[in-house]
């Protein structure tokens, strides 16, 4: 009998990422590499490498790029058996431009994609079968006319079925208006148990405040845990009982910051999922600190590789690094 139990279900759009081979300006670069990209699939791969069973759900075109998404995720141990294919709409693509200083510029070609057609009537409760947790981001609600309602319906269904829910706002200003983004993201926060904003996203949602004020405000909306990314300053976590800070891990060679927030999410969830009972009874300071430290480590590692998920570590590698052991390479 097939085991359908999974630790995490995640819903979102996976795309094909094209990057210039020589990291030159897009208009002059003749050679490109292609890979899988997407916040939710990044988290799925990160959690799978950390020993969790993950199911990714999304809509893809019936095209070679959709095939690549599925084979890549399946190759990373992610369950893609519930993915939907659309014969009329394409799999989305996007490009990174490395010619600028700092973060690369990103150009999306996802309007009218298969994922943008997601609607509430497509939500299937079998997606959550055998699952203990749902992870969603604020990207999917921005993709199409009905995608926000679809995400809301799945979050509500997960809570009805007793799953815990995590929500990363993952603000993408290029996808929708600021007013619509703020209204939608704020409306989804009460439906999650774990909320994972960055400090800039917190300011976007609530206006300028002290960091601790953000934590209290978000907790008052309903989440049991708020884990805030502070960039080079590490992270801070909030529950009704405690506030915990975790120092950053050093970045030896900054290459690409895209995907760092998704790596943070997978690191955080990999610890908190082992403590789901604590989420309902009150997460302890030690558990929250452990989760933040692992999240900071994965976020740091993600910035040191080209690509959104390729540098994510296995659980054995994480334990080696956090244990201070030197890895034997030859």
* 146-168 per-position pLDDT tens digit: 999 999 999 999 999 999 999 99
Catalytic residues: 262
Q: Which residue has the tokens 């390729």?
A: 310
Mean pLDDT of the chain: 90
Distance CA 297, CA 302 (A): 9
Q: What is the pLDDT of residues 95-112, one digit of tens each?
A: 988 765 556 788 889 999
Domain CATH code at residue 22: 3.40.1190.20
Query: Given this model, what pLDDT does residue 329 score?
Result: 40
Q: What is the pLDDT of residues 110-151, one digit of tens each?
A: 999 999 999 999 999 999 999 999 999 999 999 999 999 999
Res 269 pLDDT > 60: yes
146 in a structural domain: yes
Query: Would you say the C-alpha torsion 71, 75, 76, 81 has a positive or negative sign?
Result: positive
321 in a structural domain: no
263 in a structural domain: yes
3 in a structural domain: no
Three-state DSSP class for residue 134: strand
The number of distinct structural domains making up the chain is 1
Q: What is the pLDDT of residues 274-308, one digit of tens each?
A: 988 888 778 889 999 999 999 999 988 866 666 66
H helix runs in the chain, sequence order: 39-49, 64-75, 147-160, 178-188, 199-206, 211-220, 260-272, 276-281, 285-302, 315-322
93 in a structural domain: yes
Query: Given this model, what pLDDT does residue 194 score?
Result: 97
198 in a structural domain: yes
Identify the domain containing residue 59 by its residue range. Answer: 8-315
326 in a structural domain: no
Please choose, from the candidates 139, 110, 132, 111, the residue with its C-alpha nearest in 3D space to the C-alpha of residue 11.
139
Q: How many CB atoms lie within 10 A of CB 25?
A: 13
Distance of CA 2 to the CA centre of its chain: 28
Q: What is the pLDDT of residues 44-59, one digit of tens each?
A: 999 999 999 999 999 9
Print burial letters for 147-164: b (CB count within 10 Å at least 16), e (below 16): bbbbbbbbbebbbeeebb
174 in a structural domain: yes
């Amino acid at each position: 009998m097939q085991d359908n139990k999974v630790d995490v279900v995640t819903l979102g759009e996976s795309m094909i990422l094209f990057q210039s081979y020589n990291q030159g300006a897009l208009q002059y670069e003749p050679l490109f590499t292609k890979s899988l990209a997407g916040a939710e699939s990044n988290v799925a791969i990160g959690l799978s490498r950390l020993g969790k069973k993950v199911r990714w759900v999304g809509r893809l075109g019936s095209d070679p790029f959709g095939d690549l998404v599925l084979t890549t995720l399946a190759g990373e141990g992610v369950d893609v058996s519930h993915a939907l294919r659309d014969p009329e709409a394409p799999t989305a693509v996007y490009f990174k431009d490395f010619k600028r200083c700092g973060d690369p510029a990103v150009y999306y070609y996802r309007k009218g994609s298969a994922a943008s057609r997601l609607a509430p009537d497509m939500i299937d409760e079998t997606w959550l079968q055998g699952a203990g947790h749902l992870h969603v981001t604020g990207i999917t609600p921005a993709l199409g006319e009905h995608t926000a309602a679809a995400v809301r319906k799945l979050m509500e269904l997960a809570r009805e079925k007793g799953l815990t829910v995590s929500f990363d706002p993952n603000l993408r200003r290029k996808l929708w208006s600021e007013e619509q983004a703020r209204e939608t993201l704020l409306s989804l926060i009460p439906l999650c148990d774990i909320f994972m904003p960055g400090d800039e996203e917190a300011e976007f949602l609530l206006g300028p405040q002290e960091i601790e004020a953000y934590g209290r405000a978000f907790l008052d909306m309903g989440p049991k845990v708020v884990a805030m990314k502070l960039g080079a300053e590490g992270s801070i976590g909030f529950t009704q009982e405690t506030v915990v800070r975790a120092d950053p891990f050093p970045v030896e060679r900054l290459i690409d910051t895209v995907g760092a927030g998704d790596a943070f999410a997978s690191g955080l969830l990999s610890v908190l999922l082992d403590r789901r009972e604590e989420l309902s009874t009150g997460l302890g300071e030690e558990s929250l600190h452990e989760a933040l430290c692992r999240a900071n480590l994965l976020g740091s590692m993600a910035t040191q590789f080209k690509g959104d998920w390729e540098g994510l570590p296995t659980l054995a590698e994480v334990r080696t690094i956090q244990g201070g052991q030197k890895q034997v390479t030859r």
